[in-house]
Amino acid sequence: MGITRRQLLWAGAGAGAVGALAACSSGGKGGSTDAAPSGTGSQQPRPGGTLKIGALGKASAVTRDPHGTQANESDYLIISLVFDALAAPGVSTNTAPRLAASWKPSDDLRTWRFTLADGATFHDGTPVTAEDVVWSLKRLRNTPSGKSRLPGIQPENITAEDARTVVLVSDYPNAELPLLTRLTTFVLKKDTKDDAIAGAPGTGPFKLDWYRDGNARLVRNDSWYGGKPLLDAVEVRLFESPQAMANALLAGQIDVASNVGAVAARTAEARKDVQIVRRPNDMAMPIVMRTADGPFADARVREALKLAVDRDAMVKQVLSGYGTVGNDILGTGDPALAKDVPQRTRDLAKAKQLLADAGFDTAKTYDLITTEDIAGLAESATLFATQAREAGVKINVVKQDSKIFWDATWLKAPLYTTYWGTNDSVVFFASKTMLSDAGQNESGWNEPAFDETYRKAMGTVDAAERGKLLHQLQEIEFAESGYLLWGMADGIDLAGAAVRDLPRLPGYGRVQLEKTWLAR
């Protein structure tokens, strides 16, 4: 897979409209990201113990490269504990310091300076320098999907001002640039050879002890700049299905089943010795309709399909109630979300009229292509096909192997499912998937008004004015985009009774285990 789509899936989004600029004066110590508590009781956190955590993946798809294709969640978990990104999600602020302690923009919002955390070192004791970060970001930018990972940032515009200051210059004013640094900006030593990446020292809270076919043991980094982690070690175990992982948790073989899904949560509800840790509205599973050409290029046809879906039934049946109804706007956790846009509900009569007005051929059968990459995805396609038939649209669900899907279907097919393991930034989805020149424009959308509004918003310093522009952006998305977002799935972890303070943050935030501990 040339473009590392799933690396974005697990990475998380970025700052909301206010959060990015609010962090400019942050002088906090790196690694200070908040984690919402999990577990019960009033015990004080205590150090020690080994956390055994299960994560989904396939042994045939493992990777060790922090800038490579991370098709397995197990790989992303391991890499995120060993290597640090510049920033991370937070509770008190949408973007919190990590390897970068603070950042500040120029008056024109094009040049941003990032100051590295005091005391940041690699696992071999070598200090982290701005040159290491510059080399790492350029390596990231020069990957096949580099344009999507760091949009608007050319490799030559990533420089070191001094030993602790990294300078990023955007092609255009960008008030939200810090959110990009939450996106797999993992830092390696400068000039690390590709064949040495697997064993390269990181900067994260845990150090690699051993690794075998997607399974790994990580030990505490006592010298981590963010403070000493509580756990002695983390053992990551790869599972190829959510059910197998849930069974291992229920049998006491692991302490945490990560991102295990609604079906497993329902099974565990009666177990008093199992915690169900929910991250509300954590994953988007929209249906994508290609807008550039083909049968869904007419906006009236896309609106008809959006009116044909029974969103409540989708959430109840596909997600077992572990989720919320969506309104065709991506970024549902963003403080800037346009919540006053009227909720789109099912209207079969209007859907049929729109299809007739557009001259849509209801005699044909249209393929909806999906995968079984995550729990509920294929099921959502099947239920939607049944619902669409009531509006006169015949849909045939085609399940594809994951590799074929991402190589041949994604970004190309007229109608397919996709998924994003994050929900917290309207800007993230606009920049990655909806601008006409976006590197991962999933629906082939080209709307000049959307592009213009986005650029204006990104170049606006005043948060209130930027918020108004972001509202306009979402109104355009709601009315015309190729996304049918029927609902948001909760992220669900199952945990043993002894586990405390698992993170509840989205994306990259949920793999930050430095504050997790064991009450035993």
Architecture of domain 282-489 in this structure:
Roll (3.10)
Q: What is the pLDDT of residue 85?
A: 94
Q: Which of 287, 247, 348 is nearest to 486 (CA)?
A: 287
Can you give the pLDDT at residue 13?
Answer: 35
Q: At residue 69, does pLDDT exceed 80?
A: no
Q: In the predicted model, what is the mean pLDDT of the chain?
A: 89
Residue 39: the pLDDT is 55
What is the average pLDDT across 30-40? Answer: 45
Amino acid at residue number 261: G
- Count Cβ atoms below 10 Å from residue 273 Cβ, excluding itself: 10
Q: Are 343 and 485 in contact (CB under 8 A)?
A: no
Cα separation, 243 vs 490, in Å, equals: 17
Residue among 224, 227, 251, 225 nearest 237 (CA): 251
The CATH number, out of the four listed (3.40.190.10, 3.20.20.150, 3.40.50.2300, 1.10.1740.10), of the domain defined by the range 5-35+45-255+498-518: 3.40.190.10
Mean pLDDT of 127-140: 97
Residue 31 has pLDDT above 50, yes or no: no
How far, CA to CA in Å, does 343 sit from each of 39, 312, 328, 480, 491?
A: 35, 12, 9, 15, 23
Residues of the chain with CATH 3.10.105.10: 282-489
Q: Which residues make up the CATH 3.40.190.10 domain(s) of the chain?
A: 5-35+45-255+498-518
For residue 67 the two structure tokens come to: 């800038």
pLDDT, mean of residues 320-345: 93
Stretch among 265-279, 375-389, 439-453, 464-478 having the lowest mean pLDDT = 265-279
- Single-letter code of the amino acid located at 286: P
- CA–CA distance, 486 with 99 (Å, rounded to integer): 36
Q: Cα separation of 20 and 86, whole Å?
A: 13
DSSP string, 107-153: TTSSEEEEEEPTT-B-TTSPBP-HHHHHHHHHHHHTSTTHHHHSTTE
Beta strands in 49-110, from DSSP E residues, in sequence order: 50-56, 87-89, 95-97, 100-105
Between 222-236, 258-272, 404-418, the lowest mean confidence (pLDDT) is in 258-272
Per residue in 373-416, pLDDT tens? Answer: 787 899 999 999 999 999 999 999 999 988 899 889 999 999 99
| Cβ–Cβ under 8 Å, residues 338 and 471 | yes
Whether residue 21 is predicted with pLDDT greater than 80 in this model: the reply is no
d(CA 63, CA 315): 33
Q: What would the mean pLDDT of 135-157 be, rounded to a whole number?
A: 90
The per-residue pLDDT for 374 is 80
